[in-house]
Amino acid sequence: MWLLLLLGCWDVEPADRSQCELAHTTRVLTEDGATIALHRHAASGPPVVLVHGISSNHTFWDLDPAHSLAAWLQARGHDVWLLDLRGHGAATVKKNGQPQLMGWRVDDYGRHDMKAAVNHVRACTGYDQVALVGHSMGGMVGAIYAATGGADSLSAMVLVGSPGTFTKGDPILGLAQAGLAAGGFALASVDSASFSALAADMSRGPLKLTIQERLYNPKNFEPGTIDRMLRSIVSPMSRGEMRHFFRMLRDERFQSWDGTIGYLDALADVKVPAYLIVGAGDRLVAPAWVEAYAPAFGGPVEVFHAGIASGLGEDYGHLDLGLGERAPTEIFPRIDAWLDRYPPARDGQPPTPFVHPDP
């Protein structure tokens, strides 16, 4: 932790640009008093914020040099900022060293955490807009931010295996509902790290297909990557977060905690160009759940099915969309192409095409 403090900086208001340029890990306070963490892979090009999914952290997008969208985009000139939402990764404690208070909802991630992250990045880089790439729940968080006033600050969005709806016919729904009903309301948080360590061990045993087929396509991984992934990318889930998901699953609707906002409906006025990446073999987030965003956004939308039918080597599951061995050649270039197609505005001027630096 002390190393992180030496490398980073704490901010209530966005830091001045000289401080930000020196920061590798920066902790930023949100409007409601929580703390997020931003990890920067600095470059001179346009900024992009990468957001992790449920029970995960920023290392999903930056596991190691061979499995890192952050490093891949940085090498192509993008100024990359990896976000740890409150309670995840380097944001498990607040500025005063106390643990983050549990009980927040998915709404809080979108309305407060994303707002704080985007405002900080804009202040540090001078860009009026940033691009956003979110995996699974991270895409939902980005959609909430866009639907609740943040759209003008976004140049482009990429939602990777991110559900926009839920249907009771999918087997994983019943499993999730049973688990949440049994323990989700009684626990302040669930220690996902212990579960993932168990999953890593079991992935080498006779039950491996039961676990693997839900989380990822084993054909897209080397064994060593699976072990590092399961032991590195996880963070606890809070009771409030779990209860919010339970309610959305129960109602088959991507909605606010109080049920007054259906976020797909709220996206009708959002003109941010959205690229939807669907895992053709995803058994955790059904392809139709991701495709539900397509008619919801009010701006340009494209859908890509990551699988054999699209010319890829294998069908992609849920986690391999960001961490599979071929993701740097089959998935990352498509993300980069979308970001290049819709560059951000800067200093009040219209967007200009981004020219990648020479390799």
- What is the model's pLDDT at position 258? 96
**Cβ neighbours for 260, distance < 8 A, ≥ 6 positions apart:** none
- What is the model's pLDDT at position 15? 39
Q: Which residue has the higher pLDDT, 282 or 98?
A: 282
Q: What pLDDT digit, counting tens, does each position of 206-256 carry?
A: 444 456 778 899 999 998 998 888 888 888 888 888 889 989 988 999 999
User: Is the CB of residue 59 less than 8 Å from the CB of residue 89?
Assistant: yes
**Three-class SS state of 48:** strand
Indicate whether 189 pLDDT > 60. no
User: Is the CB of residue 160 less than 8 Å from the CB of residue 321?
Assistant: yes
Percent of the chain with pLDDT over 90: 65
Per-residue pLDDT, averaged over 259-283, amounts to 97
Indicate whether 185 pLDDT > 80. no
**Cβ neighbours for 177, distance < 8 A, ≥ 6 positions apart:** 246, 249, 250
**Cβ neighbours for 155, distance < 8 A, ≥ 6 positions apart:** 46, 129, 130, 131, 272, 273, 339, 342, 343, 344, 345, 351
> What are the CA-CA distances from residue 39 to residues 51, 62, 332 (Å)?
11, 10, 19
- Residue ranges of alpha helices (H) inside the chain are 2-7, 17-22, 69-75, 106-108, 114-125, 137-145, 171-179, 192-202, 208-215, 223-232, 239-251, 263-266, 287-291, 320-323, 327-330, 332-341
Number of helical (H) and strand (E) elements in the chain, helices listed first: 16, 11
What is the Cα–Cα distance from 14 to 121, expressed in whole angstroms? 8
Q: State the pLDDT confidence band at 95, using cuts at 50, 70 and 90.
A: confident
- What is the model's pLDDT at position 238? 83
Q: Which residue has the higher pLDDT, 320 or 176?
A: 320
> What are the CA-CA distances from residue 346 to residues 10, 349, 352 (Å)?
25, 6, 9
What is the Cα–Cα distance from 166 to 126, expressed in whole angstroms? 38
What are 182's two structure tokens? 């049994």
**Cβ neighbours for 194, distance < 8 A, ≥ 6 positions apart:** none
Q: State the pLDDT confidence band at 170, using cuts at 50, 70 and 90.
A: low
Q: Which residue has the higher pLDDT, 180 or 306?
A: 306
Give rounded-to-5 percent helix, strand, coil for the chain: 45, 20, 40
Query: Tokens 């699209």 identify what position?
Result: 310
Angle at the Cα of 132 from the Cα atoms of 117 and 256, rounded to 5 degrees: 75
Indicate whether 7 pLDDT > 90. no
Q: State the pLDDT confidence band at 169, using cuts at 50, 70 and 90.
A: low
CATH number of 2-341: 3.40.50.1820
pTM for this predicted structure: 0.87
**Three-class SS state of 170:** coil
Candidates 185, 159, 176, 182; CA nearest to 284 is 176
What are 289's two structure tokens? 């759940």
Indicate whether 43 pLDDT > 70. yes
What is the Cα–Cα distance from 122 to 13, expressed in whole angstroms? 12
What is the Cα–Cα distance from 16 to 22, expressed in whole angstroms? 11
274-279 vs 154-160, strand pairing mode: parallel
Per-residue pLDDT, averaged over 259-287, amounts to 96
Q: State the pLDDT confidence band at 327, using cuts at 50, 70 and 90.
A: very high
Indicate whether 278 pLDDT > 50. yes
- What is the model's pLDDT at position 359? 64
Q: State the pLDDT confidence band at 93, using cuts at 50, 70 and 90.
A: confident
- What is the model's pLDDT at position 127? 96
Q: What pLDDT digit, counting tens, does each position of 102-137 carry?
A: 789 999 999 999 999 999 999 999 999 999 999 999
Burial 8-21 (b: 16+ CB within 10 A, else e): bbebeebbeeeebe
- What is the model's pLDDT at position 211? 63
Indicate whether 339 pLDDT > 90. yes
Mean pLDDT of the chain: 84
Between 140-149, 221-230, 274-283, 296-305, the lowest mean confidence (pLDDT) is in 221-230
